[in-house]
């Protein structure tokens, strides 16, 4: 066997690198990946060379704390099995199934403290959604939906679907999902949305809470138009180098609209007295049990065919929900 790693080498250019399988140091373990998921919103920024040039890839993830520059490895949603331990690591770790914030790679070494053990009652296909589910939980915590509110979710990619599925458990007056892609709109109804519509079919202008998860900066103006007096807009999209030309005139100004960015790398300051990452992960695992997000895996590609997977997401996004790599 050899180590197989997805490497981005330029705009819409990539290859799979073959290397010897690494040996763990005395303090490390060796993980054999079973599945990894493409986080389409962020990874397409990398694939298309639209990632911001002035910030690190992700300061909270080991290996991604450096500035954006090709060639690079990327990805942060990996599930695998520990198959070897360094001499200073307890062999009790052997054969544990773990989640890792790690780029797409068939084998990798790391210290056990960077891994999250998957609960035994959650299989790898569902555990694969931990990162996106944590993001969805964070978005809900930032939005703070209230009994009887009208809530609107723009964008029904995987994060949008997870947000919709969690919101469907709240006693809301109305839960509306919006997306341009029929496959996603249908999945939103399955997730529990009261209605799932095209943007042009949206007529209400009194939503209490709006989540902007489409990845399209132009949608922010639509969100401002559709939120009611004193309403909240939570921005979970990362636009990369794309700019948002906002209309902050009459409706925004007079309606006291609140716009908040939501980012999963940290806990909201007002929650830190009672919440930490471990507690939020526990909630995310529980939501995975309830939602079973593996039903939204639409495509599986052997990692050797990674280029085809990114081409699909780049040119035919309407055909895909969650795309994953396999490593058998």
If asked whether residues 154 and 259 sit together in one domain, one would say yes
pLDDT digits (tens, 9 = 90+) for 263-317: 898 999 999 999 999 999 999 999 999 999 999 999 999 999 999 999 999 999 9
If asked whether residues 12 and 51 sit together in one domain, one would say yes
CATH number at residue 9: 3.90.180.10
Beta pairing, strands 322-326 & 297-302: parallel
Q: Is residue 126 part of a domain?
A: no
Q: Is residue 124 part of a domain?
A: no
- Structural domain for 230, as ranges: 135-269
H-state helical runs in the chain: 40-47, 124-127, 130-143, 158-167, 182-191, 219-226, 250-254, 277-291, 306-315
- The angle, 0 to 180 degrees and rounded to 10, between the axes of the packed helices 277-291 and 158-167 is 80
Domain end call among 254, 269, 284: 269
CATH number at residue 187: 3.40.50.720
How many domains are there within the chain? 2
If asked whether residues 37 and 75 sit together in one domain, one would say yes
Assign 249 a pLDDT band (cuts: 50, 70, 90).
confident
Q: Is residue 284 part of a domain?
A: no
pLDDT digits (tens, 9 = 90+) for 85-122: 999 999 999 999 999 999 999 999 999 999 999 999 99
Answering whether pTM is above 0.85, one says yes
pLDDT digits (tens, 9 = 90+) for 59-85: 455 555 467 789 999 999 999 999 999
If asked whether residues 144 and 258 sit together in one domain, one would say yes
The DSSP secondary structure of 14-70, one letter per residue, reads EEEEEEPPPPPPTT-EEEEEEEEE--HHHHHHHHTT-S-SSSBS-TTSTT--SB--S
If asked whether residues 37 and 78 sit together in one domain, one would say yes
């Amino acid at each position: 066997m050899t180590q197989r790693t997805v490497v981005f080498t330029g705009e819409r250019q990539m290859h799979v690198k073959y290397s010897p399988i690494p040996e763990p140091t005395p303090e490390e373990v060796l993980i054999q990946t079973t599945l990894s998921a493409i986080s389409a919103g962020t990874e397409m920024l990398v694939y298309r060379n639209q990632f911001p040039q002035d910030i690190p890839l992700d300061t909270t993830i080991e290996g991604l704390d450096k500035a954006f520059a090709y060639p690079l490895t990327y990805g942060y949603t990996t599930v695998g099995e520990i198959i070897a331990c360094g001499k200073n690591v307890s062999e009790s770790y052997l054969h544990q199934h773990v989640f890792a914030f790690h780029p797409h790679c068939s084998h990798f070494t790391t210290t056990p403290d960077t891994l999250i053990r998957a609960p035994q009652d959650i299989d790898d296909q569902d555990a694969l959604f931990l990162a996106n589910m944590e993001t969805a939980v964070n978005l809900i915590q930032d939005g703070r939906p209230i009994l009887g509110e009208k809530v609107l979710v723009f964008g029904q990619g995987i994060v949008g679907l997870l947000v919709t599925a969690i919101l469907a458990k709240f006693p809301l007056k109305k839960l509306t999902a919006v997306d341009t892609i029929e496959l996603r709109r249908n999945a939103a109804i399955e997730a529990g949305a009261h209605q799932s519509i095209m943007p042009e079919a949206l007529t209400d202008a009194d939503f209490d809470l709006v989540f902007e998860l489409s990845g399209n900066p132009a949608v922010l103006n639509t969100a401002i138009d559709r939120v009611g007096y004193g309403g909240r807009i939570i921005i979970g999209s990362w636009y990369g180098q794309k700019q948002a030309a906002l209309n902050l005139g009459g409706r925004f100004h007079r309606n006291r609209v609140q716009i908040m960015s939501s980012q999963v790398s940290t806990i909201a300051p007002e929650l830190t007295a009672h919440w930490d990452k471990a507690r939020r992960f526990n909630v995310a695992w529980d939501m995975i049990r309830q939602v079973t997000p593996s039903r939204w895996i639409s495509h599986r590609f052997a990692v050797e065919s990674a280029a085809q997977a990114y081409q699909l997401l780049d040119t035919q996004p309407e055909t895909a929900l969650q795309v994953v790599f396999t490593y058998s």
